[in-house]
Structure 1
Amino acid sequence: MRIGLVVDATCDLPPEFLAANNIRVLPIGIKVGEKRIIDDRDPDTTLRFYSEDLPKVAPEDGSVPLTPAETQEWFLEQLVTDFDYVICLTVSSARSPIFENATQASFGLLQNYRERRTAAGVNGPFALRVVDSQTVFAGLAVLVAEGVRLLGEDSHPNAIRTRLEQLSNQMNTFLVASDLGHIRRRGFQKGDRSSIGDRLRGAFLGIGSMLDMKPVLSLVQGEDKPVSVSPNYEKSAERLLNFARARVEAGELLAPHMCLSYAGDPSALRDLPGFDALESACRERGIAVHLAMLSPTGGINLGAGAMSLSFAAEPKPFA
């Protein structure tokens, strides 16, 4: 059986990891003025977004997911002849319609895939299961990396899907924004308070009088809240990296992955205080560290220099 993994473009994994493991990326449109960018995690496109497009972002700009019909057509073109069983992991359904659109598309696919497979000379049934990651950005990356690990152990696809669904309830995802002015300027879109952008803006700006401070935002089990506030970005990042290191050293991770992403060149993460100690702790305990660019969806909402960090573990107070 040919088993495949699909993620949407909010998943923050390095492009070389995605390519090496034949992970297909469901694209997302990014609207900046009259320009529409197709985000499929191509590194050159993402770098151009950060260098050329992000400075021009207006309040009305944002990400535009594929419709159910567009998603179904993409599934037909990209998946049904290459795989027999596909697990599709999406950004949290509480923050984006991607999960719902992919689920609708998977139902419609049942009526159409046989003709496409027959024409390609492929026999046998095709199955696609859509999983709500219940997280964002680096959190989605952790689940995908774990899916790859389980595939490498020849686990049954149903067992992999069940394991990923279980882990989705244990994701510890954190965000640090460098430019709160960008978040403030973005404002709120009417009738769209459930979107990724508005949910994150509401949580970040909820610090009120401390607006000029740099908070660490926690996204754990559906709750978005600041868990630490520092006078500068480097200090907030250091507190987050030290917290993650402590969880690693305590042996509390439920999957051997630590994922970090950055709104820009991810090599900048290595210059942050606390990164070397975290990487060393992970290396000593067999935890893979994955560094990637933050998706344009994340960048357009959080601004340049934002970072995301995630791991799977039982929730624990930030300290």
Structure 2
Amino acid sequence: MRIGLVVDATCDLPQDFLQKHRIPVLPIRIRLGDHSLVDRRVPQATQAFYSELLPKAGPADRSEPLQVMEMQEWFLEELVTRYDHVICLTISSRRSPIFEHATQASFGLLQRYRDRRAAAGVAGHFAMRVVDGGNIFAGTAVLAAEAMRLIGDGAHPNAVRTRLEQLSGQVCTFLLPDDLGHLRQRGFQKGERSGLLDRLRGAALGLGSLLDVKPVISVLQGEDKPVALAPSFDKAAEKLLVHARSQVMAGELLAPQLCMSFAGELSQVRDLPGFAELEAACVERGVTLHLAMLSPTGAINLGRGALSLAYAAPTAAFS
């Protein structure tokens, strides 16, 4: 049985990992004023987006999923002759309709895949299961990396899907925006802009205005809350990296994956205080550290220079 994993373009895995494991990326459309582009997680295009298009993004600009029939056509072209069983892992359904669209598109495949496989000379049935990752950005990447580890170990696709569903509620994702003016203008959750910003303002009381501090935001089971504040991005990042290192060294991770993504040059992440120590801890404990570009979807919402970090572990106090 040929088993495949598909992720959408918000899943922050490095390009070399995607290529090594031949992971197809479900595209996402980016709307910028009267123009649109399609994000397929091509690093050069993402970097150009950061530098050329992101500074022009307005409050109404957004990312949006392909429509159901567009997804169905993509599935037919990219998957049904290449695999026998596919797991399609998406961003949280609380954040995007991608899961809903992919699920509807998968139903239509039942009526169409046989002719496509027969024309290609491929025998046997095709099956696809769409999994709501329940996470975002680096958090979805943790699940995807773990799925590929299990597939590589020969796990049955049903076992992989069950494990992802179990693990999704235990992924700890952290966001560190650098441009809080961008965050204040746009908000993060559609329809809940004031709620998130009110929590940030409350956490910043006594420490200066919202733009004078950098918050580390925890995203866990759909809830966003600031867990740390620092006077600069580097100081906030150091707090986050030290916390992540403590979880790695304590042996708390439920999967040997730690994912990070950044809306900018990745060399800047490697220069952050605490990164070298975190990287060394991962090597010592047999944890794979994946460093990737933040998706344009993440950058539109969080701004240039934003950092995302995630791992799977029991909930622990941020220290």
> Aligning the two structures, in what range does the TM-score lie when normalised by the shorter sequence?
over 0.9
TM-aligned CA deviation for residue 38 of structure 1:
0.7
TM superposition score normalised by structure 2: 0.95
Distance 1:49 1:34 in 2: 16
Deviations 1:38-65 (A, max 9, x none): 1010111101100110011011101021
* AA matched with 1:291: L
Structure 1 residues 37-186: aligned runs within 5 Å = 37-186=37-186
Q: Secondary structure at the match of 1:229?
A: strand
Deviations 1:195-231 (A, max 9, x none): xxx5xx7425532263121111001122111111111
Give the match for residue 17 of structure 1: 17
Contact (CA 8 Å) 1:204, 1:225: kept in 2 or not?
no
TM-aligned CA deviation for residue 287 of structure 1:
0.5
TM-aligned CA deviation for residue 274 of structure 1:
0.8
1:203 aligns with 2:201: no
* AA matched with 1:238: E
Give the match for residue 220 of structure 1: 220
TM-aligned CA deviation for residue 302 of structure 1:
0.5
* AA matched with 1:284: E
TM-aligned CA deviation for residue 69 of structure 1:
1.4
Q: Secondary structure at the match of 1:206?
A: helix
Deviations 1:4-61 (A, max 9, x none): 0000000001111101101000000111122211101011110110011001101110
Equivalent pairs counted in the alignment come to 312
Show structure 2 runs of 5+ residues with no match. 205-209
* AA matched with 2:127: A
Give the match for residue 300 of structure 2: 300
Contact (CA 8 Å) 1:184, 1:205: kept in 2 or not?
no
Q: Secondary structure at the match of 1:248?
A: helix
The alpha-carbon distance between structure 1 residues 240 and 258, as it changes in their structure 2 partners (threshold 3 A), is same
Contact (CA 8 Å) 1:204, 1:226: kept in 2 or not?
no
Contact (CA 8 Å) 1:204, 1:215: kept in 2 or not?
no
Give the match for residue 207 of structure 2: none
TM-aligned CA deviation for residue 315 of structure 1:
1.1
Distance 2:221 2:314 in 1: 10
* AA matched with 1:255: A
Structure 1 residues 19-38: aligned runs within 5 Å = 19-38=19-38
CA RMSD of aligned residues (A): 1.4
Q: Secondary structure at the match of 1:207?
A: helix
The alpha-carbon distance between structure 1 residues 256 and 204, as it changes in their structure 2 partners (threshold 3 A), is farther
Sequence identity percentage: 61
Give the match for residue 193 of structure 1: 191
Show structure 1 runs of 5+ residues with no match. none
TM superposition score normalised by structure 1: 0.95
Contact (CA 8 Å) 1:262, 1:306: kept in 2 or not?
yes
Distance 1:32 1:181 in 2: 19
